[in-house]
Amino acid sequence: MYICRHCGDRRLPPPHDWAGEHDRFPGASEPETGGLGPCGDLHDWVPLPRVVVVGLRLCQDCVVASVNGDYAGLSPERANEVRNGLQRLAARYGGRLVPDFDPNLNDGIYKFYMRQCDACGTRLGGHRARFVVMA
């Protein structure tokens, strides 16, 4: 599956005919009149990322470091634990760590969770957020 970086149009991979005949993502609307999508003929096709691992739970320190790259509020020792844990996850699964939570809907947020953090390994109870790894 391929996706256009500009308009989000989805197509099946080659050797399918990308002229608009049954090559679109199932359920997607057909191309605009004339066979062109919203980008015209200037689509920027890239492979659609695939989910490698689901259901990772990260502690608050790892969430802030992963999403914002911010280690400022952490002691030097704790910052190293978090940095090493995030690097281990990336190396283990060979992909990017991507947030899979929505604080507005309270989806994927665990306010008090006793399971250890999947990145740094802390066993302290507390906030956990759901992440996935995508390649």
User: What single string gives the DSSP state of each residue in 81-135?
Assistant: HHHHHHHHHHHHHTSEEEE--BTTTTBSEEEEE-SPPTTT-----EEEEEEEEE-
| Structure confidence by residue, pLDDT tens digits, 20-48 | 555 555 555 555 444 455 666 666 777 77
Domain count, the chain: 2
Tell me phi and psi for residue 82, to 5 degrees: -65, -50
pTM of the model: 0.67
Same domain, 44 and 55: no
**Statement to judge: residues 33 and 75 lie in one domain:** no
pLDDT reading at 128 higher than 80: yes
Domain that holds residue 27: 1-48
Does the CA dihedral 108-120-117-92 come out positive or negative? positive
Q: Which residue carries 């914002």 as its tokens?
A: 68
Separation of alpha carbons 126 and 109, rounded Å: 11
- State residue 25's pLDDT score: 54
Same domain, 32 and 56: no
Residue 13 and residue 25 in one domain: yes
When the pLDDT of each residue in the chain is averaged and rounded to a whole number, the result is 81
Nearest-angstrom CA–CA distance, 132 and 55:
6
